[in-house]
A and B are shown apart, each in its own frame.
Chain A
Amino acid sequence: MKPLDVVTGAVEKARARGATGVECTLSEGEEFSVTVRMSEVETVKEAGSRAAGIRVLMGQRAGSSYTSDLTPEGIARMLDAAFELVEITTEDPFAGLPDSRDLGTLQGDLQLYSEDIEALSTPQKIELARRAEAAALAFDPRITNSKGASFDTVTGRHVFANSLGFAGEYRSSYCSISVMPVAKEGTIMERDYWHSSARRFSGIDQPEEVGRIAAERVIRRLGAKKVETQKVPVIFEPRTARSLLDHVFDAIDGRSIYRSASFLAGKLGEKIAADSVTVIDDGTLPGLMGTSPFDDEGVPSRRTVVIENGVLRNYLLNSYAARKLGLHTTGNASRGVTGNAGISNGNFYLEKGSQSQQEMIRGVKNGFFVTELIGQGVNIVTGDYSRGAAGIWIRDGELAFPVSEVTIASTLQEMLAGIVGIGDDLRFRGSMESPTLMIREMTVGGR
């Protein structure tokens, strides 16, 4: 049976059993992964799997279930499980499906799937990983080891239908190449990585380019020192700046807003960031990782201005959060194959500025250029920010020496208001991206 028929059939069966609302998802995927380490093939993995999930509503109560068994018997058991759970959940006045007028799908080719990924042979994939690692190993004699290079592909199909008559499906593909070299000097060892990913094979960077960048990054970490504890300007390169966008997303996620579990709850229309800051969520941009024709409730993806010139304009919502807040869904519903919908971003980015990264560094007398962050130390409820960091110290406008084993701390409120530089280097690699960002002052915790 075709996946779409499985899904619409399950919706019909649930309706026939008395459900007042039904949502059904089916997702299938094929994955291939090869890892090469020190020029030898280390792992080859290849497989495919499918799963379906259903959410049923009886009035204002919901129950959800999933299965990997897509036979008629498996689907029937899945329905039984969901109906059983409806009995134990509580009436929620806001539970429901989206307004039927909001349902729909974007038209036109969004370039989410490319056949060129399926055309690659296993030896070709191995060779791509091998070339990326070889470029890194050849870069400098201090790169003596490697945690390997990988080439991965995923292709999939996502199918969704609900009891309001929506039924849609789309295919997607993804490939990525990554390499993680290890450099050694004396007894000191460091690793770094670089990767490139795209929905089509022709969209990723050359393996040699990926290997070279990874190598440059690991070499410049050698000889890292801990600095004195001090307050200085901090520059986040795009790889680390994107994590700040991640925190902004968590703070404007409608679920955190209606629960007052975000420092940005109740701040709509208020100035929350520097004038230069504009943040957009756009799920409609062709070929990008955060694009889809419809969200996981069957609402078309769209473009939403989240922060405009420093002013908070919109939260990102699914239909439930929208009803709770008296707002309108932004088409950001998300779920695996089952459960109440959560919220996720489309392509979520901070609009680029006009300065080059180099100009930004040149303007700093004493500061910290952050290339890696570790740990979770961010509290969206309070905005408290404290994370482990590594990078390069800036002295008199130059990248002077590598730094590691330090922390950087502030609050997200102060960091957003303190953005004093935005780079011109925005590039879409994943679904959340930022150009280089400079923050006026943070506490660097060290010696």
Chain B
Amino acid sequence: MNFSESFFALKFGIQTRDLENYLSEALSQGGDYADLYFEYIATSAISIDESIVKSATQGVSLGVGVRVISGERTGYAYSDDLDPDKIRKAARIAACIASGPANTDSFGLHEGARRNLYPVITAPTETGLHERVDLVKRADRAARAYDSRIFQVTATYTDNLRQVLVANSDGVLNFDRQPLARLSVSVLARQGDGPAQSGFDGGGGRVELSHFADVKTPEQFAREAARQAITQLDAVDAPAGEMTVVLGPGWPGVMLHEAVGHGLEADFNRKKTSAFSDRIGELVASPLCTVVDDGTIHDRRGSLNVDDEGNVTQRNVLIEKGVLRGYLQDQLSSRIMGSTPTGSGRRQSYEHIPMPRMTNTFMLAGDSDPQDIIRSVPKGLYCANFGGGQVDITSGNFVFSASESYLIEDGKITRPVRNATLIGNGPEAMRHVSMVGHDLKLDEGVGICGKEGQSVPVGVGIPTVRIDKMTVGGTV
């Protein structure tokens, strides 16, 4: 597809000449670089609670962000109106951070090579509402049917279709159509008059609606959420203190996202405020660990054809056999660090300044049999599912919350334990990885990553991993 056939050209009549004019306006006070980010996003959300479809919302939002970079300075302004005068006004505001003669280079906007990692013909947002509402109804029924002790079910389905257009003063012109869908189920279980316990599951991706028929059905999500809640009914108090921890495959990869991913985003490293600053080439993890961030995996929630600065996404090796290899770069940091963008510049919306972010972050599979890993632990904790995590980039301390975990006693998984937070230090914890399973699994597609007030969809993954020492935040 050519630019002239793209969404913004067809629907709003935007031409390359217009884009060049706006870029000229943005660089009218000087500056090294400018970019334009047009975004049109249509969203839907449907949820069921107490077996009633109580809420259904849809909407559209449209706008353009203009950025000017001068040295290490960034000027940013946006408009929710594509009227040329409004865009030029935003460009003049963004230009205020520069002070110099106008940059009058010709930008020579050219379209990059195109590929499509998510060849979705009909985006979920474009399908019939009845098909979509059916997903939450089916999830509700399946969760309730799973066990009579399930007494509350909430299922939420959300999707969006995002059309983006990026043009920058380096001549990049790129556009993309980004569909996204997500179904999640939360349940509560109770035994008699006992305390309630919760369970959660969800997934999706940049997929057709048929994903929820062919790959994972509402019933499967519902049964998994219900299984977790029922399991927690028998949970005992979690242990406290340092111990051996085994992470199960899949979503527990959020540990990598917190322990190493954020700390390797180039903005923190350019400013030398990350625990990983100036450590390229150093051993920061066990040699069993190879961690990559890959924005090019087909259909996945964290994937993008182009990032929000118009750069093509790629597979970035962050840690190779324990050695720190590289950072996640955006335009600004790569310019200042004399590096190249890694397709990691992302933003929540046109109202936000892009920054280096993760896409799909995971550890490559190792050689160990997952069962052998569990058998190798005389006493420890097995974490099958996590809630969220958080990291203090500067000290490197990170946490994640285990929502489904079990004691390991004499090499066997035994009793489920109550929710507990695990804490470690990024560059330290990864050295304690002593076994890596051959069972790499990516998560189901529910992740949301927050950084400096901006949320973006991401993916994580990990094989079964043994960590010899981590602090578990239980009570006994």
Contact = CB atoms under 8 A, between A and B. Distances in A.
Contact of B196 (A65, A260, A388): A260
A107 B11 CA distance: 47
Interface in A428-447: 443-447
Contact of B423 (A69, A81, A384, A405): A405
A379 B188 CA distance: 12
Given A122-B96, A409-B420, A381 B198 contact: yes
Interface residues of A, number: 76
A417 interface: no
A375 B397 contact: no
B55 A64 contact: yes
Query: What's the dominant secondary structure at chain A's contact region?
Result: strand
A111 to B, nearest CB: 26
A22 B328 CA distance: 47
Contacts of B222: none
B473 A445 contact: yes
A263 interface: yes
Interface stretch (B113-121, B210-218, B384-392, B438-446): B384-392
Contact of A443 (B80, B188, B474): B474
A338 to B, nearest CB: 6
Interface string B78-109: 11100000000010010011000000000000
Interface string A376-408: 110101101011101000000000000011111
A145 B271 contact: yes
B271 A37 contact: yes
B225 interface: no
B401 A189 contact: no
Contacts of A191: 273, 392-395
Q: How large is the interface on B (under 10, 10 to 19, 20 to 34, 35 or more residues)?
A: 35 or more
A71 to B, nearest CB: 9
Contacts of B475: 386, 409-410, 443
Interface in A30-47: 37, 40-47
Contacts of B425: 405
A407 B74 contact: no
B370 interface: no
B418 interface: yes
A253 B188 CA distance: 17
B76 A43 contact: yes
Contact of B56 (A42, A64, A259): A64
B83 to A, nearest CB: 11
B376 interface: no
Contact of B59 (A53, A387, A445): A53
B414 interface: no
Interface stretch (B45-53, B301-309, B459-467): B45-53
Contact of B77 (A46, A62, A182): A46
A68 B40 CA distance: 10
B195 to A, nearest CB: 6
B356 to A, nearest CB: 15
Contacts of B79: 47
B273 A386 contact: no
Given A85-B58, A404-B395, A90 B73 contact: no
Contacts of A41: 73, 97
B75 interface: yes
A303 B175 CA distance: 51
Contact of A189 (B275, B387, B400, B418): B275
Interface in A62-86: 62-69, 77-78, 81, 84-85
A41 B238 CA distance: 48
Contacts of B418: 382, 384
A85 B61 CA distance: 18
Nearest to A95: B54
Given A122-B96, A259-B188, A68 B61 contact: yes
A88 interface: yes
A127 interface: no
A229 B93 CA distance: 54
A432 to B, nearest CB: 18
Contact of B390 (A259, A260, A382, A388): A388
Contacts of B78: 47, 49
A69 B59 CA distance: 10
Given A45-B353, A443-B474, A68 B273 contact: no
Contacts, number: 257
Contacts of B195: 263, 381-382
B129 A84 contact: yes
Contacts of B220: none
Contacts of B473: 377, 386-388, 406-409, 443, 445
A261 interface: yes
B57 A338 contact: yes
B241 interface: yes
Contacts of A339: 45, 55, 57
B27 interface: no
Nearest to A89: B53
A78 B59 contact: yes
B52 A92 contact: yes
Which residue among A47, A77, A92 has the maximum number of chain B CB atoms within 10 Å of its CB?
Answer: A47
B5 interface: no
A87 B53 CA distance: 11
Given A47-B77, A386-B420, A62 B54 contact: yes
Contact of A390 (B46, B51, B397, B400): B397
Contacts of A407: 240, 399, 420-423, 471-473
A263 B351 CA distance: 39
B463 to A, nearest CB: 24
A44 B57 CA distance: 34
Given A260-B188, A374-B390, A409-B475, A44 B423 contact: no
B337 interface: no
B317 interface: no
Interface of B: 45-46, 48-63, 72-80, 90, 93, 96-97, 129-130, 133, 151-152, 154, 188, 190, 195-198, 238, 240-242, 271-273, 275, 351, 353, 387-395, 397-401, 418-425, 471-476
Closest 6 CB pairs of A and B: A407-B473, A375-B399, A66-B59, A377-B421, A388-B399, A229-B241
Given A45-B77, A122-B96, A390-B392, 5 more contacts: A65-B59, A66-B57, A66-B60, A85-B56, A407-B240
30 contacts: A45-B353, A47-B79, A64-B55, A66-B59, A85-B129, A88-B46, A89-B53, A90-B48, A90-B52, A90-B53, A189-B394, A189-B395, A191-B392, A229-B242, A259-B49, A375-B388, A377-B421, A381-B195, A381-B198, A382-B195, A382-B418, A386-B238, A386-B420, A388-B423, A406-B471, A408-B473, A409-B240, A445-B423, A446-B241, A446-B242
Interface of A: 37, 40-47, 49-51, 53, 62-69, 77-78, 81, 84-85, 87-92, 95, 122, 145, 147, 182, 188-191, 224, 226, 229, 259-261, 263, 338-340, 372, 374-377, 379, 381-382, 384, 386-388, 390, 404-410, 443-447
